[in-house]
Structure formats: structure tokens, C-alpha cells
Amino acid sequence: MTFDSISLPEVANLVVGILGGTGDQGKGLAYRFARAGQRVVVGSRSAERGVEAAAAIAAMPGVTGMVTGAANPAAAEASDVVIVAVPWEGHADTVAGLRQPLAGKVVVDCVNPLGFDAKGPYPLRVPEGSAAEQTESLLPESRVCAAFHHVSAALLADPAVDRVEVDVLVLGDDRDAVGVVSALAGRIPGMRGVYAGRLRNAAQVEALTANLIAINRRYQAHAGIRITDLD
Amino acid sequence: MTFDSISLPEVANLVVGILGGTGDQGKGLAYRFARAGQRVVVGSRSAERGVEAAAAIAAMPGVTGMVTGAANPAAAEASDVVIVAVPWEGHADTVAGLRQPLAGKVVVDCVNPLGFDAKGPYPLRVPEGSAAEQTESLLPESRVCAAFHHVSAALLADPAVDRVEVDVLVLGDDRDAVGVVSALAGRIPGMRGVYAGRLRNAAQVEALTANLIAINRRYQAHAGIRITDLD
């Protein structure tokens, strides 16, 4: 079995909601999905800021998908797949408040719980194990995956970057949901979604972002990862 | 600053010791270093098994460096740089017993503390944070780094594989030691040593091996990683 022989579902018609879509990572992902032709709803704590961000993204080069904005609950309601890209500080509260609109949906956590001090970045301890497992515990009716942790927000947001050449590690216990998320990653040129284990193995994937930041600082790069020996 | 402009020290004359050199990972690394022309000492709990493994490696295709075997303490004594590749179960005991011969030396921990159950691999909790930090706490006079976690033992051991196309994440707080380890990784064709943060960020690098095992099982691969945007 090779990477290419893993069949993925058709996802072009799914609406992608992005909670925290006004932050760097959320906005960057919203842009790339809209540029890939996906229908995108940008969620924010305030509907007004969501609408503003959506208008800004819709005006960016190459966007072909419709982009609208809303408050987080309405964005969750309107979407088929919902990416959680809120700051770690408000993560639990935001997620817990959306249990109803997110029930039954594929929810993709991409949050990296990191701290920073004089020595640089380091992973924060999360009682549930990881941000993704916290989401899983708060959304028992949702199909929770983790993905999109290592994608440079700077590259996502740069219209001159045609291809985002990285692998997205997709974690989850629901195989169909993992397939949907992997297929979505594959909609962005250069990106591949690679299944990388169950949700209980999400903590180190989130924490690895600290290492990528250290790499970026040493080499002045926008580091991501590729998995080798997958063709 | 680009990856290539990071200057690395000359390491061709250093003797590389490998504790646990009779295990899969240790033997594979010993082979690759010997094939790169490095002088290698294979350490084992028993001197006899170390000598046997060394003879087997010396007879493998392409080996140009001298390979000898010894008990772990003698291997540590005889080497400039010492790679710890012992099973996690005996890690603390083995390392603690070698404080004297490892004093002042560059010690490279490549151990992945993993558990396995019906759901597959998962990271074990380590009181010190990571195997590498455990080593650091047991060897206060050594210059401890972490590296070589994600290199497939199967690829290392396969003489038909000319180039091992992976990046080795090198972690450590001693910048010169990190340079030595990165340069050693670079001696193996296809491999790059990439600085990836301080030792306090080693846990997730060790644990990521669980994700690579999940990838290997899903895609029947020998997965490793490459860091993108480093040229």
C-alpha cells in the first residue's frame, strides 16, 4: 500500500468553518481553503470582526470560494467541518460553549498549547493530555480530529506562495473523519494530509511546534515537516 | 542565514561509541557511521556480545571505518562521542553506572520511551520530562544532547540503501555539542542534522516516534521526517 492508494472522500462541497478565524493561523487557513475553492465561514468572538476578516480574505489574490463571516456559534452552525484555531487561553471556554452547534460534526483542533520565556518556546501541560483531547472531552457528540499544527501562518498568508509544501499530520480515532480532514488538507496545493495516529498521540504533535519555532529562530526559516518514504 | 551557512565542526576523527549497540537502532547507527568512515565502538552489557556485533558490522558492505566491540563502560571510555541507544527499560540504570567514563563527553540520547497496547504505540510519562533529560540529570558532568530518534532502523541496516534521506532533529543546551552531533549526522549520506531546540523540548521529539510508527502501520512505510524551508 502506498500513500496514493489510500482513497479519500470527496470534500469539495463541504463548508469549512474556522473558529478564531481572525487570528494568524485561522486567517491563513481560511485564505488557503477559499483559494482552493472551498466555501469558508470565518468565525470570531464578535460577528462584526468575523465579517470584516471574511471580506479581507475574499479580496485576496486567487480566492474562488465564497467567504463569509459570523460569530463563532453561527459559524459552527453553518459549517460541515469546523477548525478550532482559537488562542489556547480561551480554548476550553470557547469549545465548551459550542457543544450544541458542533454535535455530529467533524471538528479539527489545530491549537498548540505553548509557553514562552527567556529560553524560548516550550509545551504547556494540558490536564486532558492535549488541546485536541480537551476538545474531545468537551464535545462528546462531535468527531474530533487534530491537524494543521505545523503549517506556517506566514506562508499561508503570503499570496506569492503558490504551493504550501508541507505534510499535515492528521490524528483521530474516527477513521472516516480522519479521511475527510486528510482530503481537505489535500485540497491546498503542495499539502498532503497524513494519518499520524490516534488522538492520544496528539500532545507531541502540538508540542513539536515549539521545536519548529526553535528551528525558525536558528535558521530564519518558516519550517514545516514532510514525512519521508511515503510515495 | 540559510541551513548551509551554519558552519559545523570537523568530526571525521572522533570515535563514536554506541551503548546498546547490539539493538536494532544502535546496530543500524553503528553500521552507518562505520560506512561513513567513522571509527566506531559497539558497546553492550556483555563485552562478548559487543565484540560479536562489531565483527558482524565490520563485515557489512561498504564499511571503511574500524569497528570494535566492548562492554558499555569500556566503550564509553574509548569514545569521544557516545550515543545512548539502550532499551528504555534499562535506561536509567545503564546511564547512571557510566557517569565516570562519560564525564566531559558529548552524550547523545536517542531513546524513545514508548508503550504499546492493543491501540498501538503511545508515549510513556518520564519523571524527568524525557529520556534525554533523565540522562542529563544522571550525567551532570557530560554534555548531553538528544538526536537520531526518527531514523528507521530497517533503513539504516539495509546495505542496499545508499542514502538515508531524513533530517535528524538535534536538541541540546550546549551549542558546541549540538554542532558536533549535527556534523556527525551529516556524515551519513542523505542525512542532515538540524538544531531543533533545547533539551527541555526533547520529550515531544521522542514521543513523535509513536506517530511515525502509526504512519508506518497505515502506509507500510519506513517513515522519517524532513524539515521544510531549510536550504
- Report which secondary-structure segment, H or E, holds A155: helix A153-157
A31, B116, B132, B139 from B128: Cα distances, Å: 41, 21, 9, 13
CA A67 to chain CA mean position, Å: 17
Give the ipTM: 0.96
The residue of B1, B225, B228, B230 whose CB has the most chain A CBs within 10 angstroms, and thus the best one to mutate to test that interface, is B228
One digit per residue, the tens of pLDDT, for chain B of length 231 reads 567 657 899 999 999 999 999 999 999 999 999 999 999 999 999 999 999 999 999 999 999 999 999 999 999 999 999 999 999 999 999 999 999 999 999 999 999 999 999 999 999 999 999 999 999 999 999 999 999 999 999 999 999 999 999 999 999 999 999 999 999 999 999 999 999 999 999 999 999 999 999 999 999 999 999 999 998
Nearest CA in chain B to A210: B201
Please, are residues B134 and B202 in contact by the beta-carbon 8 Å criterion? no
DSSP labels, B155-220: HHH-TT------EEEEEES-HHHHHHHHHHHHTSTT-EEEE---GGG-HHHHHHHHHHHHHHHHHT
Name the nearest CA neighbour of B197 among A106, A190, A211: A211
Residue A178 to residues A164, A166, A170, A198, B64, Cα–Cα distance (Å) = 20, 17, 6, 10, 46
CA separation for the pair B224, A212 (Å, rounded): 16
Percent of chain A at pLDDT above 70? 98
**Rounded to 5 degrees, what angle do the CA atoms B76, B81, B87 make?**
60
Q: How many CB pairs under 8 A join A and B?
A: 151
Q: Across A72-182, where does the E strand assignment appear?
A: 81-84, 106-109, 114-117, 120-123, 143-146, 167-172
Residues A77-104 pLDDT 10s: 999 999 999 999 999 999 999 999 999 9
| Pick from B6, B215, B229: CB nearest A196 | B215
| Interchain contact, B166 vs A228, CB within 8 Å | yes
Say yes or no to pLDDT of A3 above 80.
Answer: no
Q: Are B75 and B42 in contact (CB under 8 A)?
A: yes
| Residue that has been written with the C-alpha cell 480561551 in this structure | A90
Whether the per-residue pLDDT at A5 is higher than 90: the answer is no
Q: Which three cell numbers stand for residue A206?
A: 502540538
Rounded to an integer, what distance in angstroms lies between the CA atom of residue A30 and that of residue A65?
Answer: 10
Nearest in space to B6 (alpha carbons), one of B198, B163, B195, B227: B195
For every residue of A172-225, DSSP letters joined together read ES-HHHHHHHHHHHHTSTT-EEEE---GGG-HHHHHHHHHHHHHHHHHT----E
* pLDDT value for A2: 63
**What's the pTM?**
0.97
Q: Which residues of A touch B122 (CB under 8 A)?
A: 200-201
Contact (CB, 8 A) for B2 and B191: no
> What letter would DSSP give residue B44?
E
Q: How far is CA B193 from CA A151, A164, A195, A214, B113, in A?
A: 21, 23, 25, 14, 22
What single DSSP character describes residue A51?
H
Q: Would the CB atoms of B224 and A223 count as touching at under 8 Å?
A: no
Q: How far is B66 from chain A (nearest CA, A)?
A: 30
Work out whether strand A167-172 and strand A192-195 pair parallel, antiparallel, or are unpaired.
parallel
